[in-house]
Amino acid sequence: MDPVRVCLEIFAGTCAGTWLLSLLTREYSWTDRIWSVVPLAYLWVFAAASDGDPRVTLMAVLVTLWGARLTFNFARKGGYAPGGEDYRWGILRRRLKPWQFQVFNLLFISIYQNIVIWVMTLPVLTVYRHPGPLTGWDWLLATLFVLALAGETLADQQQWNFQQWKKTLRTTGRTPATGFLQTGLFRYSRHPNFFFEQAQWWLFYGFAVAATGAVLHWTLAGPILVTLLFAGSTVFTESISLTRYPDYADYRRRTSRIIPLPPRLRPQHAG
């Protein structure tokens, strides 16, 4: 079995499938719905083709843990339910002309995002081509990957608890004091879940370094594309938050965007 050919077939199928489903249902989160599933298929295709190479198998197990966590979090927010579209696509549709959004849907949502999903898993191709036993570096990378996974799980849980608290408060007719989370991990980063997500894919690339002993490979494109995608997503998300919450601008001034850092003190004004 040629794992690259099989993965290319999966890639082509997911691009076509997510685009056609978006046209049929008029919902545009189909790529979001397969985001946590397709990488598992790519990794286990390589694991099956590697005849049990321990490093490839370890990478497949780690991505399976990543996918299980993301699938659970996406499901409990209603992402797989009818109408469970990412709210940002609705906002973007209102900002663009219908034909402009359909071009965006085809080229960015259905094709480019699936390219990112495929390319971010490609460090496994480098590892597949350089089989060998596990080393201490592999176990260190795996440990850091699991720690980043735990950090993202905590950030998502804190966000979930906050949103449930807001929902409960509003059902009683009360208005929350703030519309967005500013405590816990969100005291140190405006998007701690984004930080830990990106960290996992940079660590994933580290296995290619451990397999070859060389720092640079073309599969470095994987974590780079993930980082660029999150950079764009952060800008778009925050542009929405700024219009919804008047105090979000102050939160931006005192809180790091992605990397968790101590909050910046407010400037002292002369009396």
Global confidence as pTM: 0.91
pLDDT score recorded for residue 177: 80
Which residues fall within 8 angstroms of residue 37, CB to CB, at 6 or more apart? 67, 71
Tokens representing 6 are 């099989």
Contact 222, 201 (CB under 8 A): yes
Taking alpha carbons only, the member of 254, 211, 257 closest to residue 237 is 257
pLDDT tens for each residue of 132-161: 999 999 999 999 999 999 999 999 999 999
Buried b (16+ CB within 10 A) or exposed e, 226-238: bbebbeeeeeebb
pLDDT tens for each residue of 205-238: 999 999 999 999 899 999 999 999 999 999 999 9
Round the average pLDDT of the chain to a whole number and report it.
93
User: Is the pLDDT confidence value at 270 over 60?
Assistant: no
Which residues fall within 8 angstroms of residue 264, CB to CB, at 6 or more apart? 253, 254, 255
Q: Name the band, by pLDDT with cuts 50, 70 and 90, for residue 266.
A: low
User: Is the pLDDT confidence value at 269 over 60?
Assistant: no
Mean pLDDT of 21-38: 94
Which residues fall within 8 angstroms of residue 45, CB to CB, at 6 or more apart? 1, 3, 6, 7, 10
Task: Check the CA dihedral 236-25-108-201 and report its sign.
Answer: positive
Would you list the domain boundaries of the chain?
3-254
pLDDT tens for each residue of 60-104: 999 999 999 999 999 999 889 888 888 888 888 888 999 999 999
pLDDT score recorded for residue 156: 97
Q: Name the band, by pLDDT with cuts 50, 70 and 90, for residue 268.
A: very low
